[in-house]
Structure 1
Amino acid sequence: MLRLRCKAKNGTHVMQGLTSLSCVQELKDKVAELTGIPCEVQKIMAGYPPSSLDLSNGDVHLQDFPIKSGDTLIVEEEKNKPKPQPPLGVSKSNASPSLPKDSSPVLARRVVPADNSCLFTSVFFVVEGGVYDPSCAPEMRGLIAQIVASDPSSYSEAVLGKSNQEYCDWIRRDDTWGGAIEVSILSKFYQCEICVVDTQTVRVDRFGEDAGFSKRVLLIYNGIHYDPLQRAVPGSDAPAQTIFSTSDDIILAQALELADEARRKRQFTDVNRFSLHCMVCQKGLVGQAEARDHAKETGHTNFGEV
């Protein structure tokens, strides 16, 4: 007997009555019964990161798929497939009214300026529920410096790559970029899991994953720039959603799909090969390694992408 969980927008359901010898159609019928999503438009994903299962042949047994007892299946409705029509003889007046095509919420990026403070603007946007305030950066930089200075044993030179005091002076400057250290600190401060989805590797890095936080926010990262992710109904005046439950694996799957789409469109920057120039002396550089070496030699840390 297979004991599976089915996660969909209407919640998590326990699926019973299926075995490894059950056929695909039985699975799809059970999913439709629990979620209300018709078989014809179901998209069923398994594993982590979640990947779609090819369930086009309804007679194939479940034992032929990478599904085992205890797994969680993530179910979405495919928007690009036509919904089944009501059977003949059902009048339009008796059929359920169709929803507008844009009635379903969509996860998308909210673009913020590339002003060296995109990480701080993006984190503030998601943790504050969609508040865009680019002037928040100095305060957030100061907050991080204060936290680091208060705990020199945890934030030592081995962790920071520079002395505690040097780091605090460095992060307060408006021409320095934030990264993993800053995301980790902000995750602890805001008591929420911060998920950073990388468009080059189509990977999600979850900061605060093991801390037991109940809230989750998401950023998308292209190698040098962060943007916040929000879920909203297209064309609606309703406020967008930026804070999600850490039990919501569907939102992670959607974020990975968004990153994969960006990767296919090459919407990422290869940090080992992208072209930069020093904004101080105008020297041309290639990749973050040259930029780091130049900064050590000259003290110049303000770079722009060519």
Structure 2
Amino acid sequence: MENFVIRVKSKSGQKIVDNLTPQDTVTNLKNKLSEITGIQTDALHVLRGFPPKPLDLNDINSTLKESDILSGETLIVEEKQNMFNSKQRVADMSCKHITDNLDFGNYPGILMKMVVPADDSCLFTSVGFVLNGKVDPTCAHGMREIIANAVAADVDEYCEAILGKPNQEYCEWIMKPNSWGGAIELAILSRFYGLEIAVVDSSNGIINRFGEDQHYAQRVFLIFDGIHYDPLYLEPLHGESIQTIFPIENEMILRQAANLAQEAKSSHQYTNIKKFTLKCMICDVKLSGSQAAQKHAIETGHQNFGEVVA
């Protein structure tokens, strides 16, 4: 019987699963993923392709062949973060996600990652979460408008040398839902919202701080693994509300973020987009890096990519 080979990436490392078949069910796959990652089956968050997108594992009785899962694919397996209690505290917390400058010292907790959809707007969804305390992918369009307006209003600062394309072309490009955000967009959003955006980079273990020189009063945190952004929040040891916006002088949270960066780097929770080879799972073409994959996707419409195993 034909073997089904899947490469699995998780916090515990990389492993190869080669004892499945196309006739095995999604339940079999979930059990195998749970076994090798230590994550409970009901807490599995599985991503596939490039850019990584969530894999729907709800139809547990369908076979791997029926679920369009291909042999040779790379699956990224994470654990869902459970931050909602029976009262749906995050949905109802209004502005309680903002810390109080006086009370915070008596309100310790743990800095954690909230997983947002792995689409082309993850940066914007992450910024929306730290601002509003909820995962809302619909906020991306408004943020793209903010960025396009800021760039169009200052053609000298945002010239072709900075943007990589003419000003007007960039403004049209950033409004497209499949355009990724990065350093330029983070700097503009930091200025617009009047707060520092600290990005934990798990590829090098450092924190990049956008708006650091503006002396803002508050700071928020994101984490970046090379291709995907997620927001960070403080899960309190006691109490009902999470925290996403912190006083700039709060060194304790900054130290937690620095430790998180080093931990993420040491456990290889990142993808080096400059040094990996991708394969189009539709036509088997091998591509070098993310830009080549994006170009191939635009030209062919193919959206399913996997990392080539060395």
TM-score bracket relative to the smaller structure: 0.5 to 0.7
Q: Does 1:120 align with 2:124?
A: yes
Instruction: State how far apart, in whole Å, the 2-side matches of 1:180 and 1:144 are.
Output: 12
User: Counterpart in 1 of 2:216?
Assistant: 213
Shift of 1:260: 1.8
Alpha-carbon distance between aligned partners in 1 of 2:300 and 2:209, rounded to the nearest angstrom: 31
Per the TM alignment, residue 131 of structure 1 is displaced from its structure 2 partner at its CA by: 2.4
CA distance in 2, matches of 1:220, 1:198: 6
Q: Relative contact order, CA 8 A, sep 6+: which one is greater?
A: 2
8 Å contact from structure 1 (residues 216, 246) kept in 2: yes
Distance, in Å, in 2 between the alignment partners of 1:254 and 1:305 is 34
Measure, in 2, the Cα distance between the counterparts of 1:214 and 1:302.
Answer: 45
Deviation at 1:299, TM superposition (A): 6.4
Query: Aligned letter for 2:146?
Result: L
TM-score by length of 1: 0.59
Correspondent of 2:164 among 155, 161, 177 = 161
Tell me the distance in 1 between the aligned counterparts of 2:301 and 2:147.
Answer: 19
| C-alpha RMSD over aligned residues | 2.7
Counterpart for residue 267 of structure 1 = 269
Q: Which residue in 2 is equivalent to 1:244?
A: 246
Q: How big is the shift at 1:104?
A: 4.5
Same amino acid, percent of matched pairs: 47
Task: Pick one of 218, 230, 233 that aligns with 1:230.
Answer: 233
Shift in CA distance, 242/267, structure 1 to aligned 2, threshold 3 Å? same
1:263 Cα deviation (Å)? 2.0
After the TM superposition, which of the residue ranges 178-187 and 136-145 deviates more from structure 2? 136-145
Structure 2: how far apart are the matches of 1:146 and 1:302?
Answer: 31
Q: Provide Cα deviations, 1:150-204, integer angstroms capped at 9, x if missing partner.
A: 1111111111000111101110111111000000000000000000110110011
When residues 196 and 301 of structure 1 are mapped into structure 2, their CA distance, relative to the original with a 3 A threshold, is farther
Q: Counterparts of 2:153 and 2:283 in 1: how far apart (Å)?
A: 35
1:198 maps to a residue whose letter is D
Runs of 5+ consecutive residues of structure 1 not aligned to the other structure: 1-102
Is the 1:204–1:256 contact (alpha carbons within 8 Å) kept by the matching residues of 2? yes
Task: Output the amino acid matched with 2:266.
Answer: R
> The residue matched to 1:271 in structure 2 has which SS?
coil
Q: Deviations over 1:196-229 (max 9, x none)?
A: 1101100111100011110100000000000000
Q: CA deviation at 1:305?
A: 4.6
CA contact (8 A) 1:156 1:163 kept: yes
Higher radius of gyration, 1 or 2: 1
- The change in CA–CA distance for 1:255 and 1:239 in structure 2 (over 3 A counts) is same
| Pairing of 1:73-222 with structure 2 (within 5 A) | 104-128=108-132, 130-222=133-225
Deviation of residue 300 (structure 1)?
Answer: 7.5
Give secondary structure in 1 for the equivalent of 2:223. Answer: strand
Give me the whole-angstrom Cα distance separating, in 2, the residues matched to 1:302 and 1:212: 45
121 and 166 in structure 1: CA distance in 2 versus 1, 3 angstrom threshold: same
State the TM-score, normalizing by the size of structure 2: 0.59
Unaligned regions of 5+ residues in structure 2, if any? 1-106
